[in-house]
């Protein structure tokens, strides 16, 4: 029975900026364990949709459910505690801190220790060990004590993913995890994403279809804030409307 | 090495009144009080990224609350101190709810407006504050029966409070909570996506900074035995902010250095020039334009560069 | 009844003066993201310069003094913007601190030059007689101040909404990067708006002279009121500054008249309500 409750359910979601519609009547269901790819041209409202799922923007109307629970009005940090994690298209890390500190802040966010006004963060051994372990998983174990500002762009992309993975999210939103990477780096990240355990449901925005389609089971095509096509990967690719949007008119 | 020199410095501060004259004892007492004030503001400015231009509200409010509750309600100095600090924290809670609706320049403007409202109140509400005449005839506490009326005794009392304040704020900054606070300064949006309640972190910090602001206010009013609305003025808040920035915001020792320089400047300059406000203005310009990172980080950088060159 | 009418008119007059101060502050903040804390000092500087011009230069009346002082203060503002603030364009906090430092310097310079006693500014002779209407006597000068503020508001509105420069300013307030991208001379625009804001504040100080005189601390009295106006009305919004000014004018004037001790606390109330329910201000679009 529990398998029939979607990990993420979006119902009639609408968002207007001023008078401009950014999300128009979006309906979406992502089942637990699913790998969903969201595609669409620039300005299709993909990141705006993510920002509503995470709670950075409140929708104008409509509903968002996480594993059956209505989260439409919850604050972003409350959603994180329900098992939602995300990465950013534009690198959003703590540049002046070490990699291990970055990942530890992610672990701290879900730990009661975050309210401890006395015990130093460095004294939480278990968090540090876990942070180093996850950095090892993304191949940055040896660089854990470097500052984020000192590492290469492609490595920062991996820290983004490590930070989210460390939280063991039930639903992970990846916002263009391959943006700006070389072909070689893309392969690495692709392998990382493919290795994410099935307990984590994935929703991913990506422009690089060649790489991303391999990761996806299902695909949603957004255009002007609307869902144009939605379904199994091959069916969506074969769909005439997809060709129209991408190949034009 | 750093720790040893710290202890040596502390030992020097402890025995300082044995060989220094009253003028210098009082000067250092003032510095210690101003340093606690600046350090409390630094929690917001340096570690929280929240630049407040209304921090004198906490100092002034606690001082007035203590003065009023001892003279008008006849409370003992100790009871009134506790009540004053608690009342200031409640006020900080309310001010924080208003000011933390915004960040950046909005936060700065709201804290400034709130503190100016309080300043105007101190001037106008003569029945309570005695207006422009200020409140005088106040007493110092006598903990464990020790009179603090002499300059040296009061100095030691202030030093004890300063050491406790420095120690507790150092713990606060290094704590898990302190790490989260710095996270909200650098990437607020990411922090909330990671599960941190950014607003609550800032609010708690605001109240905690209010607590130490209140403590410095009590030390101040015991020291001067007098309180005037000017303690709530924008100049008072600006002096605190200047101490933080001149010394180096976001470092523990920076505000102490900044406060020391400012108090020394104020005491010596006032002997030669009447124009303290103008001098303060020029110091502001100088610091922002010439030494924006502050003295302590500036020295640190020079020092570490030299060390790096040697190794 | 006479009490209410007089206080009502006082409120309008204070609201008008506040508008002259707050509109410039709001425009500068909206366009340049600078919280110009020198603005209160510009107002005070205007009051002193105007008072002295009227008293010591033959043939200068209040109106010519206001115009001349406005130009002088505008020039001072332009210098501040060009020589100092420009250096700090990537450091908004540094800019605020510099304007704060400048406000201390100007305030102390005024104290040094003109001393601690208030310098009254005479009301123009032809506006001294009370205006008799509907059987009530109105202080004519205050009516004139309200008139000036309304004229200034209309002129600013016309400038912003009906001219090319105004369109550029509005584009800059809405989206600075876009404005730059489409070739608006942002640098010159910044200086112009800073001069304009400073000039209106300086002229406002002169016009306020007959009502409140020039005195040390005038800046510290006026700046927080202007800040509250801007928080209330929303940054960058002319309409917000206009409505906010008169709201604060009324609340403050009646507060002083009815509850003199607590007038300042009453100022809290509208601010709290607005911040709680509409943090961007009544007419603001961008968050402060």
Does residue B194 lie within any of the structural domains?
yes
- What is the average per-residue pLDDT within B138-147? 82
- Say yes or no for a CB contact (<8 Å) between C261 and B234: no
- What is the average per-residue pLDDT within B6-30? 88
Cα C182-C185-C189 angle, rounded to 5 deg:
125
Per-residue pLDDT tens for B38-97? 999 999 999 999 999 999 999 999 999 999 999 888 888 889 999 999 999 999 999 999
Does residue C268 lie within any of the structural domains?
yes
Residues 6 or more apart from C253 whose CB is under 8 A from it? C7, C10, C11, C14
Does residue B165 lie within any of the structural domains?
yes
Does residue C267 lie within any of the structural domains?
yes
* Residue of B173, B174, B190 to mutate for A, most A C-beta atoms under 10 A: B190
Distance CA B42, CA B242 (A): 10
- What is the average per-residue pLDDT within A96-124? 94
* Residue B308 pLDDT greater than 60, yes or no: no
* Residue C168 pLDDT greater than 60, yes or no: yes
CATH number of the domain enclosing C214: 1.10.3470
Does residue B296 lie within any of the structural domains?
no
Q: Provide the pLDDT for residue A247.
A: 63
Does residue C69 lie within any of the structural domains?
yes
Does residue C285 lie within any of the structural domains?
no
Task: Please give the structure tokens belonging to residue A193.
Answer: 């994403």
Measure CB to CB from residue A117 to each of B172, B189, B198 and give the nearest one: B172
* Residue of B52, B102, B107, B124 to mutate for C, most C C-beta atoms under 10 A: B124
Does residue B263 lie within any of the structural domains?
no
User: C171: domain range?
Assistant: 2-277
- Calculate the average pLDDT of chain A: 91
Give the ipTM of the model, two decimals please.
Answer: 0.92
Cα C222-B274-B124 angle, rounded to 5 deg:
35
Measure CB to CB from residue A76 to each of B175, B183, B192 and give the nearest one: B192
Q: Provide the pLDDT for residue B290.
A: 84
- Say yes or no for a CB contact (<8 Å) between B235 and C104: yes
Q: Provide the pLDDT for residue C288.
A: 35
Subunits with 3+ Cβ pairs within 8 Å of A are: B
Q: What's the pLDDT band for C287 if we cut at 50, 70, 90?
A: very low
Task: Please give the structure tokens belonging to residue A36.
Answer: 């969903």
Per-residue pLDDT tens for C110-123? 999 998 899 988 88
Number of domains in chain C: 1
Number of domains in chain B: 1
* Residue of C25, C28, C29, C100 to mutate for B, most B C-beta atoms under 10 A: C100
Q: Provide the pLDDT for residue C269.
A: 82
Walk me through the domains of chain A, giving residue ranges and CATH numbers.
1-83+169-249 (3.40.50.300), 92-168 (no CATH)
Q: Provide the pLDDT for residue B305.
A: 66
- What is the average per-residue pLDDT within B219-247? 93
DSSP assignment letter at B47: I
Does residue C288 lie within any of the structural domains?
no
Residues 6 or more apart from C263 whose CB is under 8 A from it? B120, B124, C252, C255, C256
Does residue B73 lie within any of the structural domains?
yes
pTM of the model: 0.91
Q: How far is CA C283 from CA C197, C232, C243, C244, in A?
A: 19, 8, 9, 9
Q: Provide the pLDDT for residue A209.
A: 80
- Say yes or no for a CB contact (<8 Å) between C224 and B127: no
Subunits with 3+ Cβ pairs within 8 Å of C are: B
Does residue B207 lie within any of the structural domains?
yes
Does residue C284 lie within any of the structural domains?
no
User: Which residue on chain B is closest to A93 by alpha carbon?
Assistant: B187
Does residue B282 lie within any of the structural domains?
no
Q: Provide the pLDDT for residue C180.
A: 82
User: Which residue on chain B is closest to C88 by alpha carbon?
Assistant: B289
- Say yes or no for a CB contact (<8 Å) between A94 and B186: yes
The least confident of A234-238, B139-143, B168-172 is B139-143
- Say yes or no for a CB contact (<8 Å) between C275 and B98: yes
* Residue of B61, B116, B123, B241 to mutate for C, most C C-beta atoms under 10 A: B116
Q: Provide the pLDDT for residue B18.
A: 86
User: Measured between CB atoms, does A167 come within 8 Å of chain B?
Assistant: yes
* Residue B233 pLDDT greater than 50, yes or no: yes
Measure CB to CB from residue A108 to each of B176, B192, B208 and give the nearest one: B176
- What is the average per-residue pLDDT within B116-122? 90
Q: Give A-chain residues touching B192 at CB under 8 angstroms.
A: 75-77, 80
- Say yes or no for a CB contact (<8 Å) between B277 and C264: no
Does residue C123 lie within any of the structural domains?
yes
- Calculate the average pLDDT of chain C: 87
Length of chain A as a residue count: 249
User: B33: domain range?
Assistant: 22-231
Q: Give C-chain residues touching B108 at CB under 8 angstroms.
A: 35, 96
* Residue B128 pLDDT greater than 90, yes or no: no
CA B44 to chain centre: 11
% of chain B with per-residue pLDDT over 90: 59
Does residue C222 lie within any of the structural domains?
yes
% of chain A with per-residue pLDDT over 90: 70
């Amino acid at each position: 029975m529990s398998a029939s409750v979607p990990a993420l359910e979006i119902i009639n979601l609408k968002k207007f900026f001023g008078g401009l519609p950014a999300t128009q009547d979006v309906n979406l269901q992502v089942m637990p364990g699913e790998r969903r790819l969201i595609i669409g041209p620039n300005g299709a409202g993909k990141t705006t949709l993510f920002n509503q799922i995470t709670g950075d923007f409140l929708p104008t109307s409509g509903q968002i459910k996480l594993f059956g629970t209505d989260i439409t009005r919850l604050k972003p940090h409350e959603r994180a505690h329900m098992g939602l994690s995300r990465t950013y298209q534009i690198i959003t890390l703590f540049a002046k801190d070490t990699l291990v500190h970055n990942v530890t802040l992610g672990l701290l966010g879900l730990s009661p220790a975050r309210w401890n006004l006395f015990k130093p963060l460095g004294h939480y051994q278990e968090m540090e060990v876990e942070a180093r372990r996850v950095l090892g998983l993304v191949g940055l174990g040896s660089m854990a004590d470097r500052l984020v500002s000192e590492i290469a762009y492609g490595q920062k992309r991996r820290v983004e993913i490590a930070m989210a993975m460390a939280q063991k999210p039930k639903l992970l939103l990846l916002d263009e995890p391959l943006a700006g990477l070389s072909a070689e780096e893309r392969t690495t990240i692709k392998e990382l994403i493919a290795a994410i355990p099935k307990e984590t449901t994935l929703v991913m925005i990506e422009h690089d279809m060649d790489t991303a389609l391999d990761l996806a089971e299902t695909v949603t095509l957004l255009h002007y804030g609307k869902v144009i096509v939605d379904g199994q990967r091959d069916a969506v690719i074969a769909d005439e409307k997809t060709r129209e949007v991408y190949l034009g008119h | 090495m750093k720790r040893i020199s710290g202890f040596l410095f502390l030992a020097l501060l402890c025995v300082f009144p044995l060989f220094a004259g009253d003028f210098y004892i009082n000067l250092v007492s003032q510095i210690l009080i101003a340093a606690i004030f600046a350090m409390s503001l630094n929690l917001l400015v340096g570690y929280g990224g929240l630049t407040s231009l209304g921090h004198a509200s906490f100092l002034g409010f606690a001082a007035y609350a203590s003065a009023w509750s001892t003279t008008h309600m006849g409370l003992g100095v100790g009871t009134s101190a506790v009540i004053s600090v608690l009342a200031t924290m409640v006020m900080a809670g309310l001010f924080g709810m208003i000011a933390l609706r915004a960040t950046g320049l909005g936060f700065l403007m709201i804290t400034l407006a709130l503190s100016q409202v309080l300043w105007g109140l101190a001037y106008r509400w003569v029945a309570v504050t005695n207006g422009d005449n200020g409140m005088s005839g106040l007493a110092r506490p006598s903990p464990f029966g020790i009179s603090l009326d002499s300059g040296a005794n009061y100095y030691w009392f202030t030093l004890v409070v300063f050491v406790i304040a420095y120690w507790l704020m150092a713990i606060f900054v290094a704590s898990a909570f302190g790490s989260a606070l710095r996270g909200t300064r650098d990437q607020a949006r990411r922090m909330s996506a990671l599960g941190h309640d950014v607003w609550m972190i800032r609010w708690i910090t605001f109240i905690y900074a209010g607590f130490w602001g209140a403590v410095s206010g009590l030390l101040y009013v015991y020291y001067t035995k007098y309180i005037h609305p000017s303690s709530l003025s924008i100049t008072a808040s600006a002096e605190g902010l200047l101490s933080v920035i001149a010394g180096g915001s976001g470092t523990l020792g920076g505000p102490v250095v900044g406060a020391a320089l400012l108090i020394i400047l104020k005491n010596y300059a006032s002997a030669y020039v009447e124009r303290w406000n103008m001098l303060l203005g020029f110091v502001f310009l100088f610091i922002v334009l010439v030494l924006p990172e502050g003295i302590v980080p500036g020295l640190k950088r020079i020092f570490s560069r030299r060390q790096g060159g040697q190794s | 009844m006479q009490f209410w009418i007089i206080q009502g008119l006082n409120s309008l007059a204070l609201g008008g003066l506040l508008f002259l101060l707050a509109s410039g502050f709001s425009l500068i903040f909206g366009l340049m993201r600078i919280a110009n804390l020198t603005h209160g000092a510009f107002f005070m500087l205007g009051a002193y310069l105007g008072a002295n011009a009227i008293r010591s230069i033959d043939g200068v009346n209040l109106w010519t003094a206001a115009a001349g002082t406005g130009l002088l203060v505008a020039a001072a503002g332009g210098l501040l913007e060009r020589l100092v603030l420009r250096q700090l364009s990537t450091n908004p906090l540094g800019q605020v601190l510099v304007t704060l430092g400048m406000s201390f310097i100007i305030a102390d310079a005024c104290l040094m030059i003109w001393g601690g006693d208030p310098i009254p500014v005479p009301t123009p002779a032809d506006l001294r007689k009370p205006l008799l209407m509907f059987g009530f006597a109105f202080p004519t000068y205050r009516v004139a101040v309200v008139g000036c503020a309304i004229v200034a508001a209309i002129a600013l509105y016309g400038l912003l909404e009906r001219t090319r420069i105004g369109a550029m300013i509005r584009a800059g307030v809405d989206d600075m990067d876009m404005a730059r991208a489409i070739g608006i001379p942002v640098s010159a625009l910044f200086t112009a708006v800073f001069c304009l804001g400073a000039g209106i504040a300086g002229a406002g100080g002169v016009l306020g002279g007959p009502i409140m005189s020039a005195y040390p601390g005038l800046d510290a009295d006026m700046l927080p009121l202007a800040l509250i106006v801007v928080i209330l009305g929303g940054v960058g919004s002319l309409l917000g500054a206009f409505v906010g000014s008169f709201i604060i004018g009324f609340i403050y004037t009646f507060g002083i008249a009815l509850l003199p001790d607590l007038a300042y606390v009453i100022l809290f109330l509208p601010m709290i309500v607005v911040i709680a329910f509409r943090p961007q201000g009544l007419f603001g679009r961008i968050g402060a």
